[in-house]
A = this chain, B = another copy of it.
Amino acid sequence: MRDAYHDELEALTDRLVEMTRLVRSAISRGTTALLDADLQLAESVISADEEVDRNHRELERDIYELMATQQPVAVDLRVVITALRMASDLERMGDLAEHIAKIARMRHPDSAIPASVRDTFVEMGAIAERIVTKAGVCISERDTEAAKELEADDDAMDRLHRRLFRVLLSKDWDHGIEPAIDITLAGRYYERYADHAVRVARDVVYLVTGTRENGN
């Protein structure tokens, strides 16, 4: 039998999963906006970040209330503390998707992404979507296997990130400084987005196992 307290703990999970959906949609649409120089889409990502922020604030408020009124201990305490951390990472992922959309908006009607790095950004966008989808599964299913897969996706993201720099520094690069700055920043945003998803997954592992493999 469930009581109101455990329903509240369960509701935290649902809210976190909802946040993964929102930031997945944001990175998906942000990537398209960046690749297609789609101003309307970029604006929609930028304005939708408020919903992510609101979810974050409400989650924090719920957690504080729950801690103050229920004083969770042991596993339940771990659940709420970890939920706080995950919410913070997911909120940041929303910011990073918004930053990507802002690059698209700043360069509109031009595209910030020259043809020579387009494929790389297509892949980075795909990995970002995959990694946040898996983070959502990790949270909802308490799935530590998905958490391991996600580390491999993060490695793939890091390789794409390094590939970007090789293109920028090759003698064939003839687009000048401005696109190089945009690409440097956008690449960094995708890489950080994946890092935060990894932190979320590691928090799920911590939740399930009670131990951390590292200080992250």
Contacts and interface: CB of A to CB of B under 8 A. Distances in A.
Contacts of A74: 68
B68 A73 contact: yes
Could you say which of A56, A74, A81 has the most chain B C-beta atoms within 10 Å of its C-beta? A81
Nearest to A165: B181
Q: Is the interface of A mostly helix, strand, loop or mixed?
A: helix
Interface residues of A, number: 29
Interface stretch (A7-15, A138-146, A172-180): A172-180
Interface string A47-90: 00000011011000000100110010110011001001100100
Contact of A181 (B71, B184, B215): B184
Contacts of A73: 68, 71
Given A185-B188, A188-B185, A68 B57 contact: no
